[in-house]
Chain A
Amino acid sequence: MAAEFIFIAPRFDKATEYSFAWCQAVEKYAIDKGYDVIILNKEQATRTRVEEELRGWPDACLIHYDHGDVDRIYGDGEPVIDLDNNVLLTKRECFSMSCLSAKTLGVDSYHRYHTTFWGSWEVISFTTDALDEFQRAMNFGIKLRLDGVTDWNIIMEKTLENDNDIIDELIRKGKIFAAALLRQDRDARRVWTDKTPPPDQNSKCFWRNLLLTLFGNRAWRISKPF
């Protein structure tokens, strides 16, 4: 068996209770489709286990639900991927519904390790009076990937259309605050691919900045300039 998808879904606070349920729905979807999956739920979502599985399955797509920050995503109360080990995301597809991780972590992983990174530029917000609608919105993109769509820009395009349909549905139901939050989540979503790369950025390293000036964004993939 070669794992095709690795799931990380901690559950340790109120927010992760909701996202854990959403991830479980995706896990079931993947299993029903016949994929070979590695599931690191709750206390199994440790840094050690995550690193072990990523090393073992370098081609598997990583699916992560819930907390993140600009430079990390969390497992069971600890960062499982950050700027010290994101080399494990090399040439990997990474889908994270966490807050903010499209920023430094996503950008760095794309530039240095050619990762296709799906994440959010802002804090994710939702309301529990529309849990079903938010679940459909958050899970839509990764379900398309599980359906066999491999172009993440097409997945993004279709996900935006789906978001718009759900926003209109929420407005019709009178759930206006939920609709406003989903619009915000929609606009914060990013996918870093060669078609939609992150905006140019400078490095803290003088030598890398020099190489960036000379070679453009390709210079991010030089592992250690000096």
Chain B
Amino acid sequence: MRERDKKIAKAAIKAAKEMLRTLPDDQNLVMGREVLTGKEVKKKFEVDDDFAAKTAEQILKLKLDTLVRKKHDDE
């Protein structure tokens, strides 16, 4: 991986981890039929590459969404 890509990935991983910290360990994430505790979610992020990538994508999309909506409201 290029140095540039590594830096971007590192930033996305950091943001995703910060987002996951907002889910308390004793609360649940429900994804269809799958139910995980907050603690299990954080563990899954470390070991499941697809889940980690999807989580990083979620925080980026949320940020983009709020910015786009803010711009739309400002106009």
Residues in chain A within 8 A of chain B (CB atoms): 13-15, 18, 67, 99, 123-129, 164, 167-168, 171, 174-181, 183-184
Contacts and interface: CB of A to CB of B under 8 A. Distances in A.
A197 to B, nearest CB: 25
Interface in B1-47: 18-20, 22-24, 27-33, 35, 38
A47 to B, nearest CB: 19
A15 B28 CA distance: 10
Interface of B: 18-20, 22-24, 27-33, 35, 38, 58-59, 61-62, 65-66, 69
A18 B22 contact: no
A172 to B, nearest CB: 11
B30 A125 contact: yes
**A contacts with B: majority SS:** helix
29 contacts: A15-B30, A15-B33, A18-B30, A67-B33, A123-B32, A125-B32, A126-B30, A127-B29, A128-B27, A128-B28, A128-B29, A128-B30, A129-B24, A129-B27, A167-B65, A171-B66, A175-B22, A176-B19, A177-B19, A177-B23, A179-B62, A180-B58, A180-B59, A180-B62, A181-B29, A183-B61, A183-B62, A184-B58, A184-B61
